[in-house]
Amino acid sequence: MKKFTTLCSLVLLLVCSAAFGQFGPPPQAPKDPIVDAIIKEATTNSQLEKLGHELMDGIGPRLVGSPKMKEAHDWAVKKYTDWGIPARNEKWGDWRGWERGVTHIDMVSPWTKSLAGTQLAWSPSTKGKTVTGDVVIIPDGADSLAFQKWLPSVKGKFVMISMNQPTGRTDDNWDKHGTKESVEKMKKDRQTLTEAWSARIRKTGKTNNTLPAVLENAGAAGIVMCYWSRWSGSNKIFGARTKKIPTIDLMLEDYGLLYRLAENGKPVKISVRADSKETGVQPTFNTVAEIKSTVNPTEYVMLSAHFDSWDGGTGATDNGTGTLVMMEAMRILKAVYPNPKRTILVGHWGSEEQGLNGSRGFVEDHKDIVANLQALFNQDNGTGRVTSISGQGYLHSYEYIGRWLSKVPREYKVDLETTFPGNPGSGGSDFASFVAAGAPGFSLSSLSWDYGTYTWHTNVDTYDKIVFDDVRNNAILAAILVYQACEDPNKTSREKSVLPMNLRTGEPGKWPEQRSPTRKGGME
């Protein structure tokens, strides 16, 4: 046995040394001066940290229709202009204008504690006052009749409409420290509680979406909720469904405190001050910047990332990091590849979060560009290194993407996997707006860094979560792909693959349909 192993090792050694001796290490793309210059500019003159600070800390969250969104668009145009890249804000629609002010929430009885939480986007204000009221929980009534009977009692009170989570620890934390039995028990308890809570809401005859307005019309002082993101200190902050009273989201830790006190019959009171301003109907924009080609000015290679965000945090990983990748790639390309063989465009889209509206608007308004698009690269799933690219259902995508990727040095694609031809994306982010129009739009898809739980649409999607080395990796990758797509002597094929049959309906697979944006939003 021993001998056998030794012999094997020896053979292996010989094979290996033969492989390395004769042919050298696995092939690395031959040196390309532009690729080298891209890497040098990205690593020795990186602007990512500065841009990240200016955008996330200096401007902040970028809710559609808010003054912050407009400020960000103007900032981006100024940045591009300073880099010598012509840029413009293109109007594609109008949205309800709303400006976030302070939210102060305190428990004032049975004892005093300032609570961690915030109003939802578009929440009505408390009109410059601090409103104090009892806290009550949606009761576990028998049916909708019982609910209707209870309803008048909410007058002047804050109503809690979310389930009380049994644990504020992450599942990872439980797995690390719990016993097998305790972890299983916790998960089972949580499942039972979740089902019971759904039943409780169902029995009111309302849904989570319709309940706030019903409580508002019954005279409640405010809605209190907790959309826990399964991560300590992290909640998802979306839009309010009330028109007159504030909707506030409390962190699990403080929501649980109020809930347990109220449930056990203690009179619980909170004080809420929520300031905000309605600013009327506001124009909404995409920021578009352009490095024009003199060789093929009407053929286009595009970088793409949505610019808007939810506003509980500062939109650092959704989609601050995608934004940084594209801005930095543009800056680098202008510095080292100022005379591209095709025109390079970047789109910083508005209102992706409400349904890819900015990019759908662009696709509708710029049919010429979409028809002559060589390739588009979008990034929008967090701060991580790009680890997957799909051919989005284009039959020959493996040929050109594979060729372009071969020019990327190994260290910038270590974990990268490709899927060809893949399936056409019907949503998720702005590349889908282009795919729906039959244009070669691709997604540079990142590894997670717990994006879905930790930062996606949460109050803690902030600067400190950015992993700058990964973002730098992505800026280099995006810049090289754009350079290669510009240099390619061939136009990319748009031939679609035959899509797999829909197993449920037995129908042949269908390419996603192009859809119009919502051009007037938030006013219903």
Burial classification of residue 477, based on how many CB atoms lie within 10 Å of its CB (0-12 exposed, 13-18 middle, 19 or more buried): buried
**Which span (120-128, 157-165, 314-322, 400-408) binds Zn ion, by CB under 5 A?**
314-322
Of 117 and 347, which CB lies nearer to Zn ion in the complex structure?
A: 347
Of 276 and 319, which CB lies nearer to Zn ion in the complex structure?
A: 319
Site mask for Zn ion (CB under 5 A), range 64-103, x = bound? ----------------------------------------
Of 319 and 392, which CB lies nearer to Zn ion in the complex structure?
A: 319
DSSP E strand stretches across 309-366: 342-349
Q: What part of residues 226-245 is at the interface with Zn ion (CB under 5 A)?
A: none
- CA dist., res. 136 & res. 269, Å (int): 9
Which of 78, 432, 68 has its CA nearest to residue 284? 68
Least CB distance to Zn ion at residue 380 (A): 4
**Which span (2-10, 181-189, 317-325, 515-523) binds Zn ion, by CB under 5 A?**
317-325
Of 141 and 427, which CB lies nearer to Zn ion in the complex structure?
A: 427
Least CB distance to Zn ion at residue 308 (A): 8
Q: Dihedral angle at the C-alpha atoms of 383, 85, 60, 479, nearest 10 degrees?
A: 0
Of 216 and 380, which CB lies nearer to Zn ion in the complex structure?
A: 380
User: Is residue 461 a contact residue for Zn ion (CB under 5 A)?
Assistant: no
Residue count, binding to Zn ion (CB under 5 A): 3
Of 146 and 447, which CB lies nearer to Zn ion in the complex structure?
A: 447
- CA dist., res. 396 & res. 252, Å (int): 49
Query: By three-state DSSP, how is residue 1 classified?
Result: coil
Least CB distance to Zn ion at residue 463 (A): 17
Q: Dihedral angle at the C-alpha atoms of 146, 150, 152, 156, nearest 10 degrees?
A: -150
User: Is residue 319 a contact residue for Zn ion (CB under 5 A)?
Assistant: yes
Least CB distance to Zn ion at residue 62 (A): 11
Least CB distance to Zn ion at residue 431 (A): 12
Do residues 359 and 285 lie in contact, with contact meaning Cβ atoms separated by under 8 Å? no
- Tell me which H or E stretch contains 521: strand 520-521
Least CB distance to Zn ion at residue 382 (A): 9
DSSP E strand stretches across 237-295: 247-250, 269-291
Least CB distance to Zn ion at residue 306 (A): 6
Token pair recorded at residue 90: 């293109």
User: Is residue 318 a contact residue for Zn ion (CB under 5 A)?
Assistant: yes
Of 254 and 352, which CB lies nearer to Zn ion in the complex structure?
A: 352
Site mask for Zn ion (CB under 5 A), range 133-172, x = bound? ----------------------------------------
Which of 186, 191, 180 has its CA nearest to residue 167? 186
Do residues 420 and 393 lie in contact, with contact meaning Cβ atoms separated by under 8 Å? no
Phi/psi zone of residue 522: left (φ > 0), alpha (ψ -120 to 50 degrees), beta? left
Least CB distance to Zn ion at residue 326 (A): 13
Place of tokens 């019971």: 196
Number of Cα atoms under 13 Å in the Cβ half of residue 239: 15
Q: What part of residues 357-386 is at the interface with Zn ion (CB under 5 A)?
A: 380
> Contact positions toward Zn ion, by CB under 5 A?
318-319, 380
